[in-house]
């Protein structure tokens, strides 16, 4: 059975990624930090559907905790076949109001975590001569967003990480790809009013927010054999907002 590690997997897009990977036959390791009950509920849901999953608490901003998590998985299961770097935060703030602490937390949560965890996991994948890494970026990593400059910087960095690492790891049969969702109906959209969301949707050619299922569909495609010749690519489910 193939082993998948999904960071930030207990809720939102991450939880749907875990559900769909489990349905594909992956044994899913659900990484979480604060959402323990959500992780427990998700495991129960997956098991009811005859899937396999377990949870692991880890602050992805902490290199020692990342090392411990990878060591635990390798010791228990012998490998990590798929890494989905999904953990992240968002913040809506004027550029001049972003503090150094805000900036560092954003970069550490969204970008450095993926860089460091990929580095740890790649060591094991190279020895197997196979593996997949999927980074969850954002449409704002492609185009930038007003009032979300530090978020855009971090998500753009994930795209750069994807492209560079894909070239380096392709000879080892390791694929690195990226999903860059547009406006998705998750908790991250809760700081917008109903009127703001309606106005925003008017600018989306498909006229609506995306769903977590639609994002997870892209991830499970990249995790499948159907995507065996794809690496270094950015798939952006965004309803036509950016073409």
Global pTM value: 0.96
The residues of the chain scoring below 70 in pLDDT are: none
52 is catalytic: no
Choice among 56, 72, 151, 229 that is catalytic: 151
Q: What is the pLDDT of residue 198?
A: 86
Strand, coil or helix: 34: coil
Instruction: Give the pLDDT confidence score for residue 20 in this predicted structure.
Output: 98
pLDDT for the residue 7: 98
The secondary structure of the chain in percent helix, strand, coil, rounded to multiples of 5, reads: 50, 15, 35
pLDDT number for residue 105? 98
Instruction: Report yes or no: 173 and 125 within 8 Å, Cβ to Cβ.
Output: no
Between the two ends of the chain, the Cα-to-Cα distance in Å is 37
Q: Which residues pair with 179 in a beta bridge?
A: 136, 235
Q: H or E segment at 30?
A: strand 27-32
Which tens digit of pLDDT belongs to each residue from 123-182? 999 999 999 999 999 999 999 999 999 999 999 999 999 999 999 999 999 999 999 999
Whole-angstrom distance, CA of residue 86 vs CA of residue 156: 14
Count how many residues are written for the chain: 243
pLDDT of residue 104: 98
CA distance linking residue 16 with residue 10, whole number of Å: 9
């Amino acid at each position: 059975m193939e082993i998948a590690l999904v960071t930030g997997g207990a809720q939102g897009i991450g939880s749907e990624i875990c559900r769909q990977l489990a349905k594909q036959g992956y044994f899913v390791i659900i990484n979480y930090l604060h959402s323990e009950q959500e992780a427990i509920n998700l495991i129960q849901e997956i098991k009811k559907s005859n899937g396999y999953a377990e949870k692991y608490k880890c602050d992805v901003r902490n290199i020692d905790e990342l090392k411990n998590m990878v060591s635990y998985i390798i010791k228990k299961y012998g490998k990590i076949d798929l890494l989905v770097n999904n953990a992240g935060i968002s913040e809506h703030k004027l550029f001049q109001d972003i503090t150094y602490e805000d900036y560092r937390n954003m970069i550490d949560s969204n970008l450095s975590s993926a860089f460091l965890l990929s580095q740890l996991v790649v060591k094991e994948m190279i020895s197997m001569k196979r593996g997949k890494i999927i980074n969850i970026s954002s449409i704002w990593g492609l185009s930038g967003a007003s009032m979300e400059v530090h978020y855009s910087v971090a998500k753009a960095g994930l795209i750069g990480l994807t492209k560079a690492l894909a070239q380096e790891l392709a000879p080892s049969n390791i694929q690195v790809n990226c999903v860059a969702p547009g406006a998705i109906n998750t908790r991250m959209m809760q700081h917008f009013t109903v009127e703001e969301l309606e106005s925003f949707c008017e600018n989306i050619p498909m006229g609506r927010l995306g769903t977590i299922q639609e994002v997870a569909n892209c991830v499970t495609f990249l995790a499948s054999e159907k995507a065996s010749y794809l690496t270094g690519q950015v798939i952006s489910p965004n309803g036509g907002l950016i073409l």
